[in-house]
Chains A and B, each alone.
Chain A
Amino acid sequence: MLQVISLLLENKPGALMRVTGLLSARGYNIESLTVARTLDPELSRMTIVVDVEPNLRKQVIKQMNKLVNVLQATDLTDASAVCRDMVLLRVRAPQENRTAILKEAEIFSARVVESSLEGFAIEATGDPEKLDEFIAVMRSYGEIEVTRSGMVAMSLENRKLRLSPPIPKGDEAVYSHIRNGVLNG
């Protein structure tokens, strides 16, 4: 079953690899993954859709929360959340189909971003199932080419972000025996 995970993580080299590695090490297949900076440039927000058995969902969230670079991992699968996906689609549109295609696009609130004699490039956003339908409809007009963004999701609940405070470093005087070359204190 697909699980939707929202992650807030430090924007550091390797952070993405830690997240994906955790999933691949357990043999889970990632359906989609989006990541971008947040308002705070040192942090990224990531939305992952991954195929996980329902009884293991909690475990996956716990493992994600264990990652040092992850500030918060949240399971949005059954939570109150907005989930959106974007599709860029090119469809061949000969003269006789153009009006019909534009009509269909309008029904799905899609926007034509490029138009030429051969056809249209259309951009649509929406929840993923609705975009599946849109793609199916467009497909009925002939050959199409599709790029999807993968899901981005946002929780509608207020979740407290708990961060660990800085940890003071102790005084080095206690280690003077090492400096003096005495092994084992």
Chain B
Amino acid sequence: MSNLMSGARILLECLIREGVDCLFGYPGGVTLPFYDALYEHPIRHVLVRHEQNAAFAAEGYARSTGRTGVCCATSGPGATNLVTGLVDALMDSIPIVAITGQVSTKLIGSDAFQEADTFGITRSCTKHNFLVKNVAELPQTIHEAFYLASSGRPGPVLVDIPKDVFQAQAHYTPVTSIHLPGYKVYTEGHTGQIRRAAQMMWEAKKPLVYAGGGIIAAGASQELQELVELIDAPTVCTLMGLGGLSSSHPNFVSMPGMHGSYAANMAMTHADLLIALGVRFDDRVTGRLSAFAPHAKVIHVDIDPAEVGKNRVPDLPIVGDLKRVLPKLNAALAELKHSMGSQNASDRADWWRQIRCWQQEHPLAPSYSATEIKPQHLMAEIDRLSGGEAIVCSDVGQHQMWAAQLIRFHHPRLWINSGGLGSMGFGLPSAIGAQFARPDKLVFAIVGDGGFQMSLPELATIVNYGLPIKIIVMNNGYLGMVRQWQELFYNNRLSAVTLDSFPNVEMLAGAYGFKGRTIESPAELPPALEEAVREPGPYLLNVKVSPYENVYPMVPAGGAINEMVLAPPQPVALPK
């Protein structure tokens, strides 16, 4: 068998070796040779309707499985359209590889048709990027890209491939090893530090586990659960860490931060030890940093040394992979349990009582109305149908916060949302990726009426591939989160947040050939959601919710997280 093949074929060979079973992409001029090689190729190509959504779908694929998602786009506008998805993946440490076409090597730099400096543009949008100028470098580069994307702190990697490199013929020899001498991955963690951490954890009177997306990226949920049970510590999971510890676990408190629960934020503020696992002390979690966890010593475990000490200087840093560090930490904890385990038992019991008390004082409870559908009611109903088992892909805004507060996740990789970048338009395309990766799963795309309209073209993709995604539009007629801030901080001067002219969804879904429905009364909600879930195909449910509902608790920007606004200000009583 001759191994002389085109660059495009070589690329596909490398993708197969990386275990890629599907690509999300959009063809164009310079990727023609690649798409020609894809013709009748076993790797499945999913044609999205906009390149940004190819990147988001690849993210949905990666977030729901942990496997590297792949997207591809043509040069120029194709590549620039990927940018938001790349940054999104960078912010949330999601492994994706983007393949972009580039104009032929001899045309690079000549302002050729559909030329953009993709390599330059995406430098700061990726963990690393490559421009392949010679077909001989292609196999090595592709494998390096996948290794970089998925190892260490995961992230997006882009490979820019000129048209003539796709076309060039070369002898393909499978790569047997790759070498990135400057790429350092710290996995094991310092043994002495791990032991000291275990001691600190037994010595603490008010320990709190603060678990983030790193738990999910590392696949260390089981290890986290063991740790939490060993020391019986209350645990908060960040927006990115939801599902890292099952929401039904008795030690799970809830989400902390700007829209976190009262109990979680109070626990953060009063803890004497924060066990920070795979988190980055994001401003949306910490609020005013100088007032954050003021009484706590901090143990920070993270795979990225640059995150340790970036925002909060830890008392005990451990740089390593949680999957490797947590078992060692658990072993050290178990070993010390006999001698140290009972020393603060009564303080710890008090600590738990205090936390239960905070939970009861201001629970994250859905609110109901007899006349209108409260958004919290909607989330509670989705939660009921999911039972902690469905994949929930959220867009960005109020609905995202309510979903995070009220929907339970019994496993990691069920809650899929754009955390760090907060990209509107993420929900629907990420659901496409997730449904492809997990055809066995019930997938909800919870979107606002704003973000939904940013991802409208993908309705065609959903129908095209028969994806049974349940699209739930939480429709309040506003860009709700912006409206909330305008109401609270800009004297309710509602500027450019009204979303009039929302389409009739029965007709919209009908135009694409699937079912849609609008509901606005609370009584309709449970049966309508049940009908959506029963429907074998996709379903578009437009839920008109009370338009002026705000997300609470809320920590105003710059506030300390214990200074939460818990409920809307009481209306002033008018004189009689």
Chain A interface (Cβ < 8 Å from any Cβ of B) = 9-10, 13-14, 17-18, 21, 25, 58-59, 62-63, 65-72, 162-170, 172, 174-175, 177-181, 183-185
Contacts and interface: CB of A to CB of B under 8 A. Distances in A.
B538 to A, nearest CB: 19
A178 B182 contact: no
B183 A178 contact: no
B176 A169 contact: yes
B42 A181 contact: yes
B19 A174 contact: yes
A164 B185 CA distance: 8
Contacts of A17: 120, 123
Contacts of B177: 166-169
Given A13-B131, A71-B181, A167-B147, A178 B43 contact: yes
Interface size bucket, B side? 35 or more
B128 A68 contact: yes
A179 B42 CA distance: 6
Contacts of A25: 124
A62 B306 contact: yes
B203 to A, nearest CB: 28
Nearest to B440: A184
14 contacts: A65-B305, A66-B305, A66-B306, A163-B182, A164-B185, A167-B180, A172-B16, A175-B18, A177-B21, A178-B20, A180-B42, A183-B44, A183-B439, A184-B437
Nearest to A10: B182
Contacts of A10: 181-182
Contacts of B124: 21, 25
A96 B491 CA distance: 75
Interface of B: 16-22, 42-44, 119-120, 123-124, 127-129, 131, 143, 147-148, 174-185, 304-306, 309-310, 437, 439
A180 B43 CA distance: 9
A163 B306 CA distance: 18
B183 A164 contact: yes
Q: Which 4 A-B pairs have the closest CB atoms?
A: A62-B306, A181-B42, A163-B181, A166-B179
Given A183-B44, A184-B439, A169 B17 contact: yes
A173 to B, nearest CB: 10
Contacts of B128: 68
B21 A184 contact: yes
Contacts of A184: 21, 437, 439
B35 to A, nearest CB: 18
A66 B120 contact: no
A68 B148 contact: yes
A66 B304 contact: yes
A59 B128 CA distance: 19
A39 to B, nearest CB: 16
A21 B179 contact: no
A59 B309 contact: yes
Given A14-B123, A58-B309, A65-B305, 8 more contacts: A9-B182, A65-B184, A162-B184, A167-B178, A167-B180, A168-B177, A169-B174, A178-B21
